[in-house]
């Protein structure tokens, strides 16, 4: 599938990581199922994709509330992350996004803007051999208000020294697209693995 980009010119490309650069959402879901299963917590696959872009701590807090559980937020988020990192050798890139990264690298600056923590993003990009393509990484530690708030994307634009209106965002979640729009940026939606399997069937 080739991506249809909005008309430019754009002076920076900002990429979400999980589900956008890295086809990592299926691996994240396996890690979530294992980690949450230890606490008798269920996490429906459709809800998992609907909550894409939400930081791990917020996911656990929201599931605690929904299912009347008392899971430890910080330690469980770390445990889930470690389960994901163990599966990194299986990670593949999203082909249509990789094509754009390879075609435009060196022409304009790139940033990764993620709801994940730095170690997770660095792990994914390193596993894919793409770490050197990005000028900066904005992770969950860098902002207070996660997507759909615009903060993460505005931080990335400021670090690259590019006006928000001149940035193009690549995102696979509705929360991410809302964040880009709130930041005053154009965006491209990447189909999720769930959507891609529906397109094929």
What is the C-alpha to C-alpha distance for residues 184 and 103, in angstroms, rounded to an integer?
25
φ/ψ bin of 42: left (φ > 0), alpha (ψ from -120 to 50), beta (otherwise): beta
What is the C-alpha to C-alpha distance for residues 179 and 90, in angstroms, rounded to an integer?
29
DSSP string, 151-187: HHHHHHHHHHT--GGGEEEEESSHHHHHHHHHTT-EE
Q: CA Rg, the chain, in Å?
A: 16
What is the C-alpha to C-alpha distance for residues 150 and 183, in angstroms, rounded to an integer?
5
Give me the sheet containing 110-113, strands edge to edge. Answer: 136-138, 110-113, 12-15, 167-171, 186-189
Strand partners, 167: 12
What is the C-alpha to C-alpha distance for residues 10 and 164, in angstroms, rounded to an integer?
10
Neighbours of 180 (CB within 10 A): 27
| Active-site annotation holds for 16 | yes
Tell me the catalytic residues: 16
């Amino acid at each position: 599938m080739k991506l249809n980009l909005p008309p430019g010119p754009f002076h920076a490309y900002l990429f979400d990581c999980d589900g956008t650069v890295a086809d990592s959402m299926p691996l994240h879901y396996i890690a979530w199922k294992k980690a949450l299963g230890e606490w008798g917590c269920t996490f429906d696959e459709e809800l998992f994709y609907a909550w894409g872009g939400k930081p791990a701590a917020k996911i656990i807090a929201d599931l605690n509330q929904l299912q009347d559980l008392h899971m430890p937020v910080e330690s469980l988020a770390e445990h889930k992350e470690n389960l994901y990192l163990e599966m990194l050798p299986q990670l593949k890139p999203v082909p249509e996004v990789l094509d754009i990264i390879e075609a435009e690298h060196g022409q304009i600056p790139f940033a990764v803007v993620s709801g994940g923590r730095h170690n997770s993003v660095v792990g994914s990009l390193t596993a894919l051999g793409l770490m050197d393509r990005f000028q900066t990484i904005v992770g969950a530690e860098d902002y207070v208000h996660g997507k759909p708030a615009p903060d993460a994307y505005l931080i990335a634009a400021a670090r690259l020294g590019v006006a928000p209106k001149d940035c193009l965002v690549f995102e696979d979640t509705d929360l991410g697209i809302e964040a880009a729009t709130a930041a005053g940026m154009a965006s491209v939606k990447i189909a999720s693995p769930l959507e891609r399997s529906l397109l094929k069937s």
